[in-house]
Amino acid sequence: MGRLTFAGLETRPGQVWGAVRLVPLVRDAPVEGLRMHPGALPETDLPKDGCWYVPHGLTAEWTRDGSAVPAFGTALRMPTATVDGSRRPKAKPRFADRRTRIRFIPRRGALETYLPLAFQAPAIAWPEWSRLAYTQSMLPEPDRTVSGLLVDGLADALRIFEIHPGQCGVLVYVADALAGVLITPHPEDYRTLHPTLVEDSYGELIWRYAMLHASVQDFEARIDASLVDSLADLRAQAAAVQRDWAEFHDGTLAAGLLDPEYHFTETYAMADFKLVRYRPEFETGRETHVGEAILDARGRAAFLQSFRLSETQIRRARLLQALAANEWHLDDTAAALALTTPAFVALLRNSNLTWMLRRDVLDHNLARHRRR
Amino acid sequence: MESVADLVAAEDVLLFVNAAVAATGQDEFHTGRGRQEWSVDFLHEYMLVNYRDLYAAALALGINDRNKAAIVLRLLRTGADASPAQRAVEGRLIRRALRDLPTSRVYRLFTALQKAKVNNRRTRAVMREWLSARPDLGFEAVKYRGAFKRAAVHAHLDLDGLPGDAGAEVASFLFAPMTSGRYRTPLFEAWRRAHFERSAVFELPYTVAEGFAVKHGIPRHVLLEQIAPLLTRNERLRLQRSGGAAVELDAAALGRMPLTRLAAYVLAIPEPERGERREELTRALRAAARRTAGDRAGTWGTVAAVLDDSYSSSGSGEKRRRPLVVALAAHYLLEALAREYRPLWLSGNEDALLAKPRGVTALGDRILDALETPPEQLIVVSDGWDNAPAGLASEVLRVWTTRLDPARRTAIAHLNPVFDADGIGVRRLAPSVPTAGIRDAEDLPELVAFARFDDGRAGIDELRAAVDARVERWLAEEEPWAA
């Protein structure tokens, strides 16, 4: 358990266009030894014949000794592979087997990999569960997400956004609801990844907010003229305005991301960095962000991306989490949630999880729930 | 003490003038042309209905050509609403405005009049008068053939009665071009022969020759080599990047170009090449600025300028880097005007020649830097989208003018090259600081002088007096005997 922080990053004034507010994060110095690239495969990897679709993903590239990463594609000897199971080396990699590049799955498909983190498939074969529950490793019907192109005003807001010098991150707000975060290790990476934010997926909630809200209030600077007697005072007040904004932003606007405690699942280690996936305790009615991050040795985010779950997704994740915690025992889980078993089954049905239950168990419980 | 209505009227007029200077009907960085057209049309209609005489007088106030043409169109369309005295003044203003407008603009206006079906007696008289006063009618009949024909028909022009050699043949040239045999007018004859003879193409105006060159399959470099002597100044400057050696200009010739166009050319050159040609380009820009400054050179005292080179100064696909171009031209012009000059680019860039649109608009901090040693004149050239943080420039200027410099020893003016369609006007920095729209940096001195009416304290009477004085001066230039 732990918290996410923006350590090493400074918050700068946000820029508003319509209902979209983009808040930049700036680094004093780029993180050494790690770069992120929009992840096209090298042309040579593609077979010459036929038509191929290369999904929009990311490539992380690092060096063992913390020195600067050469520009993408220029390194002479840089063995590459993916974390994809089929290409994982069969034997445990020897020390000489130095892998310094991994690819991420496309961000618009990443959500499905975040959500099942909350549960491991049933370990004990309770009779209530259907065969599918043991064989399916992922949810059969992934949640609907919306491409950034369909979020009203997002494309324009990204187009006219003026990138700060040294900017390594951005928080995207739609109608002042935090929709997503992107943090990169290097300003150049940010510049290349900035336009791809529009290809990301956003939850249905964000899409709805963008439709309903035409504009948000800009944070207008205010200076108290009575405090100013010289130009130095004026300068100090101007600096205070910027500080106030940073405090207000980190303390209030981004509170939904920074305040909760997160579970971190380590998925991959790369030299000094580790790739983790994070999720909070799922609680209905609370802002919930899940995503993945690359943390350095001191736990500061070198790379981070997050996705805001919609209320339906939170409810579903909470049920799965409760089931996993109670070893998939139906009655125990219901009791843990202070519910009767039929009420719990009804909840599962409302969250579209009935495919996991045996049909007769389901019908029996629902009938009892209706009779009540 | 003026009434509120007076102040509002003055504000309306200034709003319109600023918008009419900056709005060009093209895409801007933030908004597209569709929205802009809507808001500019609204402003024109509003002015025409409420302040007709001031609307006509705006022709004398250095607004851009597109809006001049729009005003003439509207005045001619609604002549019935004007009193005879108004019509007389309008007539003189229109005549003077048409004389100043570029020829192509006027023909486009005539086409617009025809499309709008404006064909009253006054319109026909205006068109006839302008057309018969042209010095080289034959040349225009060739270069603007379609528009000229439409105008002649629309204005019921007596073609046979036109003066000059071309007069006798222009009717057959327009209406029966290939059936009348040879022409005595050399240009008409060249045009006729160009249909089947390759060598005649090079005697035609460049834009006409381009079409025939395609027809004859003449390679571009051959065309440019042959036609180079016939190119106009602007055509030649436009061809600098693509035309090759045949149309190349040396530093002295570049220095004779208009300042803003020259700045646009300089910024279109890739950065490394700009660095290599630094001396030549700087000399040309300085020469153009000195020529523009004229006898005002060195008369402005200490001047500081905050110049916007943020990402938004990259303009749009239609107006490439236009805000940055204006800032660069203003930089060199102010350098020539001032005794002591301090430029402050927003990005912290020290080398004006290598300016590029990048980064945020942190106007507040830069204005503070400029006021550190208070200059006599502070000029801000920016699109007004202050965003790091939003509104800080406004607060800094407000506190500066109320607390630190209530006597206004430092004159501050904001020049905005971008029309904000959503705000219907140019974006202001602060209510206490005058804002003026700007199209070409050459107008900067006049705009700064006129901007003093825009501090929210000048009433309509004062403004009207100033406008009338300017109209008188402007019209007197046309008719020296009337002065």
Domain of B398, CATH number, reads 3.40.50
* Boundary (domain end) residue, out of A226, A257, A288: A257
Q: Are A35 and A186 in contact (CB under 8 A)?
A: yes
Position B143 pLDDT exceeds 90 = yes
Q: Position of tokens 């502070």?
A: B378
Supply the pLDDT for residue A75.
Answer: 42
Q: Is the ipTM of this complex over 0.90?
A: no
- Going from the C-alpha of B376 to that of each of B29, B338, B350, B404, the distances in angstroms are 32, 10, 22, 14
Q: Are residues B291 and B414 in the same domain?
A: yes
> Which of the residue ranges A68-77, B125-134, B232-241 would you say has the lowest mean pLDDT?
A68-77
Interface touch B403/A163, C-beta < 8 Å: no
Task: Determine, yes or no, domain membership for B468.
Answer: no
* Chain A contact present for B312, CB below 8 A: yes
- Average confidence (pLDDT) over B167-179: 88
- Tens digit of pLDDT for each residue in B65-83? 999 999 999 999 999 999 9
Interface touch A160/B30, C-beta < 8 Å: yes
Position B107 pLDDT exceeds 90 = yes
* Boundary (domain end) residue, out of A257, A284, A312: A257
Nearest residue to B438 (alpha-carbon basis) of B371, B366, B383: B383
Q: Are residues A341 and A253 in the same domain?
A: no
Q: Are residues A224 and A362 in the same domain?
A: no
Give the range of the structural domain holding residue B342, as residue numbers without chain letter. 261-458
Task: Determine, yes or no, domain membership for B481.
Answer: no
**Cis before residue B389, ω within 30 degrees of 0?**
yes
Q: Are residues A104 and A22 in the same domain?
A: yes
Task: Determine, yes or no, domain membership for B86.
Answer: yes
Position B479 pLDDT exceeds 80 = no
Q: What is the mean pLDDT of chain B?
A: 90
Q: Are residues A244 and A334 in the same domain?
A: no
Q: Are residues B354 and B344 in the same domain?
A: yes
- Tens digit of pLDDT for each residue in B270-285? 999 999 999 999 999 9
Sign of the CA dihedral with A138 first, then A143, A144, and A148 last: negative
Tell me the nearest-neighbour CA distance from A289 into chain B, angstroms. 27
Instruction: Report the number of distinct structural domains present in chain B.
Output: 3
Q: Are residues B24 and B168 in the same domain?
A: yes
- Tens digit of pLDDT for each residue in B361-403? 999 999 999 999 899 999 999 999 998 889 899 999 999 999 9
Instruction: Report the number of distinct structural domains present in chain A.
Output: 2
More confident residue, B289 or A328: B289
Q: Are residues A364 and A215 in the same domain?
A: no
Q: Are residues B36 and B159 in the same domain?
A: yes
* Boundary (domain end) residue, out of A257, A288, A314: A257
Note the pTM of the prediction, 2 decimals.
Answer: 0.89
* Interface residue of B367, B373, B386, B387 to substitute, partner A, most A CBs within 10 Å: B387
Q: Are A169 and A184 in contact (CB under 8 A)?
A: yes
What is the band of B332 on the pLDDT scale with cuts at 50, 70, 90?
A: very high
Give the range of the structural domain holding residue A335, as residue numbers without chain letter. 329-371
The beta-carbon contacts of B207-212 under 8 Å, at least 24 apart in sequence, are B207/B143, B207/B235, B208/B142, B208/B143, B208/B145
Q: Report residues of chain A scoring pLDDT below 50.
A: 73-90, 96-97
- Average confidence (pLDDT) over B80-91: 93
* Interface residue of B403, B422, B432 to substitute, partner A, most A CBs within 10 Å: B403
* Chain A contact present for B403, CB below 8 A: yes
Q: Are residues A198 and A340 in the same domain?
A: no
Task: Determine, yes or no, domain membership for B410.
Answer: yes
Task: Determine, yes or no, domain membership for A27.
Answer: yes
Q: Position of tokens 């040579």?
A: A44
Task: Determine, yes or no, domain membership for A105.
Answer: yes
Tell me the nearest-neighbour CA distance from B465 into chain A, angstroms. 36
Q: Are residues B230 and B271 in the same domain?
A: no
Q: Which amino acid is at B393?
A: A
Task: Determine, yes or no, domain membership for B469.
Answer: no
Sign of the CA dihedral with A24 first, then A30, A33, and A38 last: positive
Q: Are residues B145 and B241 in the same domain?
A: no
Q: Are residues B214 and B349 in the same domain?
A: no
Task: Determine, yes or no, domain membership for A114.
Answer: yes
What is the band of B95 on the pLDDT scale with cuts at 50, 70, 90?
A: very high
Task: Determine, yes or no, domain membership for A271.
Answer: no
